[in-house]
Amino acid sequence: MNQLDIKRFAIKFGGESGQGINSLGEILAKALKNTGYKIFGYREYPSLIRGGYASYQIDIGNEAINSSSQFCDILVCSSRRSIYQYLRDLRSNSILIHTLTAVIFKPEDQEFIKSQNIQVKYIDALTLAKQQGGNALMSNMILLGALAEIIGLDLTSVEHIVNEQFADKPKLLEIDLKCLKVGHDLNIADYNLNLQKFDGWQDSKIITGNHAIALGAISAGARAYYSYPMTPASSILSYLAETSHESGMLVKQAEDEITAAQMTVGSMHMGTRAFTGTSGGGFDLMTETISLAGIIETPLVLVLAQRPGPATGLPTWTSAGDLNLAIHAGHGEYPRIVISASDFETAYSLIQNAFDLAEKFQTPVILLTEKQIAEGLYNVKDLPQDIEINRYLLNENELTTKSTLKRYQFTENGISPRWLPGSDLPQYNANGDEHDEVGDVNEESLNAKLIAEKRMKKTELIKMSLPDPVLYGENEADITFIGWGSVKPVINDVRDILKQNNSEIKINYLHYDYLFPLKSELLLNVLKNSKRLVLVENNYLGQLGQLITSETGFQFSEKLLKYDGRPFFIEDILNFINSSRNE
Amino acid sequence: MSSLCKTYFENENVSLKDYYSDNIYTWCTNCGNYGIAAATKRALVAENIEPKDTFMCFDIGCNGNGSDKIGGYRLHGLHGRVIPVATGAALANRNLSVIASGGDGATLSEGIGHLVHAIRSNYNITFLMHNNCNYALTKGQASASTRQDVPMDSSPDGTPSDTLNFMNFVLSLGASFAARTFSGNVQQMTEVIRAGIRHRGFSVIEILQNCPTYNKDTTHEWYQDRIYDTIEIKDYDNSNFDSALNISKDMSERIATGVLFANPNSVPFDQRLENRQNYSTELVDEVKSYNQISQELFSRFI
């Protein structure tokens, strides 16, 4: 397995927060894309503004890649700490470039460097930048130039992006371009990668999962977004605010998450499309409101961008640990829908579907995402096809008798007619107290039973209408993985690697976008026919596994769980397959 | 009966009976809520607002138990949360008159953050703060507006925390409309609520409400002996913030009621949004595909 030919390549920039690591990564990512390559960008950073260690990794390939590898081929470091932090992430025959004088490696590090045949190259980037009239940040341009030379990337493609990025600062731009050239001419390392231009991903865009959610919502007619900043959901708020003049969306930073959720319910109740987004801690504060939306049967759409908890946890890292939270949020019993994005395309489509489902079933919909998706940088050629907008409101023209209308009418399938405040129809009370069919308070036992049944009936209907999980790969496989969220692109990337290598091991993957209420027909079929089942989740408990067990009784004997704040890397899956083969 | 009074019962498009409900009130005998409910209905009729164009939001508390005893579109939400749910509704459809009701328990405790920021944001809703100086629905605990020396259910020795003067607090936050009225004076209450509905911005109306069951301290009679109307003050100018702040302070000897302050230059939140200046439509009317905008925004990425 170690001899697998993996047709992808990774470059990691490491440094402190505030050193310009992100703009370095972005420029290179864009230059690579313009040369035709597919990239996936992955950022690690601490929850602080200056210091610590941060990285920006770009995985590069000719064909679709949508995940990160744990190891990189070139590591470029501009802080001492990042060298020590990331040294062990280098593959054999790789390169470490750094800008620090007198870096002292511990004996075991020296041994690692030697055994892995790692070239360590020092560039006095600051001095070189100053010689061109530049400052500390411009030493990044020296590094970028040197890197372009090493990987055989045409310098003009990098210059093109730098030109675009700094066009409004012509004096600095001139120095930046000089620095690039100086770095390029250093000819610093001996490396044989030759990233030739080819006809591939030039026409794509580099864009994050949060952008997908924002654009999907804009397109679906969401007219208000209420939110309180919280990583990794914050960039939905900032992007929607930034584009609010184009979209006309009302974007409000609320005073807290309770407010954000309540304003969303208020706006949705009146009949517009509004939504809110947060992470686990903020979501906790929203749960009473989700419960309210459940009883007043007002559509509600919430984005829960997961990061590791409990409490503040690891605020800038990734996790899929809030499935249980989403499924169980809010007191009392009411139907809800929990769905999860797994990449750019699903983030875009599922936020649209969230509105559709919320309005169709008049109940809360929680869209899960993860830091890895929210802030992951994808290459995307086109926006996915939009979901058709349906409002599922009462058609006033078809009404014969208006006076007998009941907003919470007991119906066969549990869905009652919905009309909006302002309509010339019977006015009703959206009552958070238990109520009768018209919304008046009612504490009678029969009514309590009937209206609870009316609401809960919707769960079966929802379950029937949700799409099945998707089986990726052949029906027959040696190992069947089951997972959700950002696990999907990692396993699918691994499937591609195995296929390209004509591996004798066949894997397939059953993926859940629609998590709750859980669809189990296809699952049971897969469970019955698979040789070996492995649950893969970015959490400790194996929460989808718990849900499957509670629904079907099936217990997973094999679980691949990761809960260290890092996403699954392709190596995690490859090593698992490899080690199981050696057993 | 003057012609003005007639419009309380019968107006061009609406009459008082349109706001009637068949449901029987569940408040105590002599509760201040009867007067508040009557004044609210009269104000709506006097403003010629039909029930279909009214959206009333209720907090949890005795006020909320009136949510199904009045006509119009209504929402009975969660404790302390009436302001944000009502503002979300008001922003989505400005064609409806949004009136939010909450008590001193909810507003001055769990909901106090919402109050502060609603005043800052100047959302265009009318907020009726039912101040009966206790948590009546949970049977008489002290609220932030309960006077300190009064023994209450959860504080038999009186509450050790200082008493909050609601009107003074609201004015100190720069409210664009601040009024105080009394549940025993339906006529004044009606006119104050009408002024609140007409005001463009966040209209805060404190209703000094008697609670015959749990508030034996500041009773109906106690208020009767102390309240006066600002119209009794010679040349009172309710656009003068400092005078309003000044007369709001006294809550024990002479208690000022009426519209204490109304900012004639009030700009409500929805009019402050630069990106919405060219929209004459409501958010509820704008739900459609904006695919072209998404495509355009997408194309700007590199």
List, for residues A49-95, the tens digit of each pLDDT value: 777 889 999 999 988 789 999 999 999 999 999 999 999 999 999 99
Best of A236, A272, A418, A420 to mutate (most B CBs within 10 Å, chain B): A272
Whole-Å CA distances, A65 to A89, A377, A401, A510, B205: 19, 11, 58, 19, 60
* pLDDT reading at A583 higher than 80: no
**B101 interface with A at CB cutoff 8 Å:** no
Contact between B113 and A221 using a beta-carbon 8 Å cutoff? no
CA distance B255 to chain A (A): 33
pLDDT at position A1: 40
Contact between B73 and A215 using a beta-carbon 8 Å cutoff? no
Contact between B287 and A271 using a beta-carbon 8 Å cutoff? yes
How many A×B Cβ pairs under 8 Å?
A: 206
Give residue-wise pLDDT tens across range B129-160.
Answer: 999 999 999 999 999 999 999 999 999 999 99
CA distance B51 to chain A (A): 7
The distance from CA A299 to its chain's CA centroid, rounded to whole angstroms, is 24
Give residue-wise pLDDT tens across range B30-80.
Answer: 999 999 999 999 999 999 999 999 999 999 999 999 999 999 999 999 999
CA distance B104 to B251: 15
Instruction: Spell out where A330-459 has E strands.
Output: 337-340, 364-370, 377-380, 429-431
CA distance A230 to A214: 16
Chain B partners of A30 at a C-beta cutoff of 8 Å? 302
Question: Of the CATH numbers 3.30.1540.10, 3.40.50.970, 3.40.630.10, 1.10.1060.10, which one belongs to the domain with range B3-275?
Answer: 3.40.50.970
Closest to A244 (Cβ–Cβ): which among B87, B275, B301?
A: B275
pLDDT at position A196: 86
* pLDDT reading at A403 higher than 80: no
- How many CA within 13 A on the CB side of residue B21? 26
Percent of chain B past pLDDT 90, that is, above it, reads 97
Closest to A267 (Cβ–Cβ): which among B91, B293, B294?
A: B91
**B291 interface with A at CB cutoff 8 Å:** yes
CATH fold group of domain A206-380? Rossmann fold (3.40.50)
Domain boundaries, chain A: 8-185, 206-380, 393-466, 470-582
Closest to B294 (Cβ–Cβ): which among A218, A250, A296?
A: A218
Name the average pLDDT for chain B.
96
Contact between B87 and A266 using a beta-carbon 8 Å cutoff? yes
Q: What is the mean pLDDT of residues A120-126?
A: 96
Hey, which residues 76-95 in chain B have their CB within 8 Å of chain A? 76-78, 81, 84-93, 95
Phi first, then psi: give them for residue B33, nearest 5 degrees. -65, -30
Q: Provide the CATH number for the domain formed by A470-582 in this structure.
A: 3.40.50.920
CA distance B26 to B90: 29
Name the average pLDDT for chain A.
95
Which tokens sit at B197? 């509905």
Contact between B55 and A258 using a beta-carbon 8 Å cutoff? no
CA distance A58 to A148: 14
* pLDDT reading at B4 higher than 80: no
CA distance B75 to chain A (A): 4
What is the CA angle A360-A362-A368, rounded to 5?
85
Give residue-wise pLDDT tens across range A425-447.
Answer: 999 999 999 999 999 999 999 99
Pair A146, A123: CB distance under 8 Å: yes
Cβ neighbours of B223 (radius 10 Å): 19
Q: Who's near A75: CB < 8 A, 6+ residues apart?
A: A11, A12, A14, A86, A87, A89, A90, A94, A95, A96, A97
* pLDDT reading at A185 higher than 90: yes
B243 or A137, greater pLDDT: B243
pLDDT at position B7: 86
* pLDDT reading at B2 higher than 70: no
CA distance A379 to chain B (A): 10
CA distance B24 to chain A (A): 11
* pLDDT reading at A2 higher than 80: no
Contact between A430 and B76 using a beta-carbon 8 Å cutoff? yes
Question: Of the CATH numbers 3.40.50.300, 2.130.10.10, 3.30.365.10, 3.40.920.10, which one belongs to the domain with range A8-185?
Answer: 3.40.920.10
CA distance A471 to A481: 10
pLDDT at position A217: 98
Percent of chain A past pLDDT 70, that is, above it, reads 99
Closest to A269 (Cβ–Cβ): which among B89, B276, B294?
A: B89
